[in-house]
């Protein structure tokens, strides 16, 4: 194409995209009008909707406004031309021409008709003649590149938009790849599989961002089924969740809850970790027997009979009575706290029978049915308010919470022995919860059950409050009524025609106006339509039990890399973890191209991978950066200054950087906190010490070496690990075809 022809095409494309923004603005204005009207709309029966229905409408319109807002930046990023001459524009959302039978002006990237934009190649053009990709900034089309399809000599890996994206400096958050999805990624994103999809790939293969785009695709194609319950995304740490948190909103999807495994029990935000061995013990399914035994240990026989005063006589709860009650309560199959009612019924029956026998001796027999039942009722009423009886039940069958049970177990060597637990689980009183405790606490919610008495009390209090509010509202209505005899006959509306007492009460009673994300995150029993698990190789058997409870439909996208597993409790194979829950219902896909790590850096990481996981093939880098990774040996006194030099040098460059090293290195971040993240430049400090951190050390060093997109440096005091001896021993990295900035 000549320069003049290019300029004419560019002007034409800018004009078309400007028209799309005009349509977007019109749609946004329409939704805003409806939103404002819904906010101002009347409440009550005459309005045709309840207050709750209006709240739903307001939230729906607010979500739609948010979707239109996020589409503003880079709305249209490409065009497809077919062999017949038809053309389609591809973008973040779909837009239609309302005046022309809703002719599509812009295809949503998830629509079936958009698929060729991602999968058409020179050898397999999918009926397409040309793919055009726009380079945009905000609403402005800066330029475009064309790829002519169907040529037998076409370049299958020469995507200029992709190379521009992977070479661009990184920011604070993960970017979506909606404009540069590759064919192997698109196949996974659009995969039609109702069960569990495992996406495995080495560092930089884009498995996380592919999983997020798959969520956006599922929400687009199955919105009605998925929207009411939302999606849960589980990541390895808060920094990772913050990093990926912008991707789905940028694609117009907001009904997504982001959590770490330490957040899965509402009210807890746990980040502390156990030692590898303790984490292994807590993560194994064998701990279920420990929990069951710990609960059974709290269902006790009295060491000495417990005296109870009832009806003027002294009775005793003896071991025989308690044993019968325990057997009946356990046989009920109810959780511990709910089975307490059965335990109490048996003990109450024994005590009242004994009391009646003693009180009625000589004058009362079972033939005196009415008197017998009246005496029983009186005794039962007396027991209900008897503090001594309540204390006895609490001693023999206490109401337990997950926190109190687990803390008392950990803090007592005797209780650990009684539960058959390893003494390595012992901890000092008051120690904080760890990430490995969270699935145990969640398990105990089901094993212990609810305190029915407390639940009933709360429900009764809520009902009393509702009735009081309704009575108050009725009083307000009485005050608002107008004397109709004093009204002109032309006055058609009075307050009572507009408001009803129940509706007014609804306005005074606090309604749950939280959006889906807030409600789901606060509700332990919330179930999701789909769950994404990132760094899934780190999850223990107990972690998987929690996630399967959260997703009864078993619709999951599992993302990980077994070669990066650092946890002794994690997955050794995907089959081992998934088959018990979804036998035959999970499929495996792998990503083999590294879009993050340049070839120079991946060669270093691959040498380490070959030592600790010789059977694993490293991903193939899509590019080279021309910068050779370097290392520098320093003394203990020189180390801080060398780190500062790296930080100052990178501060002068565009992009991001990080120092990764052992926890006691000033300014360094542990490798575990960088999982899933990427930076333009990485400085790894003391790799030998990272490697020496038990069984997980090699995986952590592999993670540290594969975070960089451009530059990698290593500082060390002692010898380098054998796998890293090929690094250039210098403090100044060699840069091909460029100069260090001043």
Give pLDDT tens digits for 465-478: 555 555 555 554 45
Secondary structure of the chain: what % helix, strand, coil (to 5)?
50, 15, 35
Query: 480 pLDDT band (50/70/90 cuts)?
Result: very low
Q: Where are the beta strands (DSSP E) in 189-294?
A: 196-201, 231-235, 256-260
Task: State the pLDDT at residue 364.
Answer: 74
Local structure of residue 516 (DSSP, 8 states) = H
Average pLDDT over residues 60-69: 87
Burial of 77 (0-12, 13-18, 19+ CB in 10 A): buried
How many other β-carbons are positioned within 10 Å of the β-carbon of residue 569?
22
| pLDDT at residue 487 tops 60 | no
* Total number of residues shown for the chain: 742
| pLDDT at residue 328 tops 70 | yes
Question: In degrees rounded to 5, what are phi and psi of residue 8?
Answer: -65, -45
Return the structure tokens found at 388. Answer: 């001594």
- For 530-578, the pLDDT digits (tens) are 999 999 999 999 999 999 999 999 999 999 999 889 888 999 999 999 9
The residues with which 292 forms a beta bridge, in sequence order, are: none
Q: Where are the beta strands (DSSP E) in 612-667?
A: 620-621, 630-633, 657-660
Task: State the pLDDT at residue 737.
Answer: 39
Query: 495 pLDDT band (50/70/90 cuts)?
Result: very low
| pLDDT at residue 402 tops 60 | yes
The percentage of the chain sitting over the pLDDT mark of 90, rounded to a whole number, equals 61
Look over the chain and give the mean of its residue pLDDT values, rounded to a whole number: 86
Q: Which of 106-110, 218-222, 432-436, 693-697 is least confident? A: 693-697
Average pLDDT over residues 118-144: 88
Task: State the pLDDT at residue 469.
Answer: 54
Query: 739 pLDDT band (50/70/90 cuts)?
Result: very low
Task: State the pLDDT at residue 732.
Answer: 47
- For 278-296, the pLDDT digits (tens) are 999 999 999 999 999 999 9
- For 141-176, the pLDDT digits (tens) are 999 998 888 755 544 445 666 766 777 777 667 777
Task: State the pLDDT at residue 503.
Answer: 52
Give CA separation, 734 vs 253, 439, 711, 729, 730, in Å: 43, 48, 10, 11, 9
| pLDDT at residue 3 tops 60 | yes
| pLDDT at residue 494 tops 70 | no
Q: Tokens 């919610």 sit at which residue?
A: 445
| pLDDT at residue 740 tops 50 | no
Query: 453 pLDDT band (50/70/90 cuts)?
Result: low
| pLDDT at residue 306 tops 50 | yes
* 124/119 Cα distance (integer angstroms): 8
The percentage of the chain sitting over the pLDDT mark of 70, rounded to a whole number, equals 85
Query: 486 pLDDT band (50/70/90 cuts)?
Result: very low
Return the structure tokens found at 658. Answer: 């990080």
Return the structure tokens found at 62. Answer: 């607010």
Task: State the pLDDT at residue 477.
Answer: 47
Query: 491 pLDDT band (50/70/90 cuts)?
Result: very low
Provide the terminal-to-terminal Cα distance of the chain, rounded to the nearest Å.
Answer: 40
Of the candidates 334, 302, 335, 337, the one whose C-alpha atom is nearest the C-alpha of residue 320 is 302
Task: State the pLDDT at residue 664.
Answer: 92
Task: State the pLDDT at residue 452.
Answer: 61
Q: Which of 233-237, 342-346, 733-737 is least confident? A: 733-737
Question: In degrees rounded to 5, what are phi and psi of residue 342?
Answer: -65, -45
């Amino acid at each position: 194409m000549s320069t003049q022809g290019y300029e004419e095409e560019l002007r034409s494309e800018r004009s078309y995209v400007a028209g799309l923004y005009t349509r977007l603005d019109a749609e946004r204005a329409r939704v805003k009008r409806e939103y404002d009207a819904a906010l101002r709309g009347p409440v009550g029966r005459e309005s045709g909707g309840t207050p709750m229905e209006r709240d739903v409408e307001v939230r729906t319109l607010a979500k739609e406004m948010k979707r239109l807002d996020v589409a503003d930046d880079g709305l249209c990023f490409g065009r497809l031309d077919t062999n017949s001459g038809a053309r389609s524009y591809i973008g973040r959302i779909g837009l239609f021409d309302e005046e022309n039978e809703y002719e599509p002006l812009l295809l949503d990237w998830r629509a079936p008709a958009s698929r060729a934009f991602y999968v058409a190649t020179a050898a397999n053009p999918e009926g397409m003649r040309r793919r055009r990709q726009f380079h945009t900034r905000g609403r402005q089309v800066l330029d475009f590149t064309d790829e002519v399809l169907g040529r037998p000599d076409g370049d299958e890996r020469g995507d200029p938009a992709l190379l521009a994206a992977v070479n661009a400096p990184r920011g604070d958050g993960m970017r979506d790849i909606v404009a540069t999805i590759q064919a192997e990624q698109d196949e996974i994103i659009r995969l039609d599989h109702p069960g569990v999809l495992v996406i495995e790939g080495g560092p930089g293969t884009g498995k996380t961002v592919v999983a997020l785009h798959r969520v956006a695709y599922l929400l687009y194609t199955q919105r009605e089924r998925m929207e009411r319950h939302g999606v849960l995304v589980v990541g390895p740490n808060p920094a990772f969740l913050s990093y990926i948190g912008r991707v789905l909103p940028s694609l117009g999807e907001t009904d997504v809850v982001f959590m770490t495994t330490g957040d899965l029990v509402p009210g807890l935000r746990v980040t502390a970790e156990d030692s590898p061995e303790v984490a292994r013990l807590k993560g194994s399914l064998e701990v279920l027997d420990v929990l069951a035994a710990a609960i059974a240990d709290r269902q006790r026989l009295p060491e000495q009979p417990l005296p109870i005063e009832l009806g003027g006589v002294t009775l005793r709860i003896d071991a025989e009575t308690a044993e019968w009650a325990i057997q009946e309560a356990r046989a009920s199959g109810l959780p511990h706290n709910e089975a307490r009612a059965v335990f109490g019924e048996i003990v109450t029956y024994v005590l009242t029978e004994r009391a009646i026998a003693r009180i009625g001796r000589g004058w009362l027999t079972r033939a005196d049915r009415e008197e017998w039942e009246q005496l029983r009722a009186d005794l039962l009423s007396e027991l209900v308010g008897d503090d001594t009886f309540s204390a006895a039940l609490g001693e023999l069958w206490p109401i337990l919470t997950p926190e109190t049970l687990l803390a008392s177990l950990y803090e007592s060597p005797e209780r650990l022995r009684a539960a058959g637990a390893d003494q390595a689980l012992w901890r000092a009183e008051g120690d904080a919860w760890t990430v490995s405790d969270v699935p145990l606490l969640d398990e105990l919610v089901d094993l212990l059950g609810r305190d029915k008495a407390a639940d009933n009390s709360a429900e009764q209090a809520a009902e009393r409050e509702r009735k009081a509010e309704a009575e108050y509202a009725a009083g307000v209505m009485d005050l608002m009524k107008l004397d109709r005899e004093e009204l002109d006959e032309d006055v058609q509306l009075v307050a009572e025609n507009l408001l009803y007492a129940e509706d007014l009460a609804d306005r005074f009673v606090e309604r749950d106006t939280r959006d889906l994300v807030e409600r789901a995150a606060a509700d332990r029993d919330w179930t999701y339509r789909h769950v994404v698990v990132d760094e899934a190789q780190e999850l223990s058997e107990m972690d998987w039990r929690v996630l399967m409870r959260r997703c009864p439909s078993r619709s999951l996208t599992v993302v990980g890399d077994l070669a990066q597993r650092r946890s002794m409790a994690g997955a050794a194979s995907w089959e081992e973890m998934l088959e018990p829950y979804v036998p035959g219902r999970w499929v495996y896909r792998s990503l083999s191209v590294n879009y993050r790590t340049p070839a120079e850096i991946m060669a270093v990481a691959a040498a380490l991978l070959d030592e600790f996981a010789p059977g694993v093939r490293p991903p193939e880098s899509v590019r080279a950066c021309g910068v050779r990774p370097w290392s520098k040996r320093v003394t203990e006194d020189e180390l801080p200054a060398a780190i500062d030099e790296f930080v100052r040098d990178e501060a002068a460059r565009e992009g991001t950087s990080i120092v990764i090293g052992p926890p006691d290195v000033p300014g360094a971040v542990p490798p575990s906190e960088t999982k899933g993240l990427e930076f333009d430049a990485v400085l790894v400090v003391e790799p030998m010490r990272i490697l020496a951190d038990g069984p997980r050390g090699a995986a952590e060093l592999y993670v540290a070496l594969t975070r960089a997109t451009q530059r990698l440096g290593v500082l060390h005091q002692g010898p380098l690990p054998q796998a890293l001896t090929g690094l250039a021993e210098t403090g100044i990295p060699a840069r091909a075809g460029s100069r260090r900035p001043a």
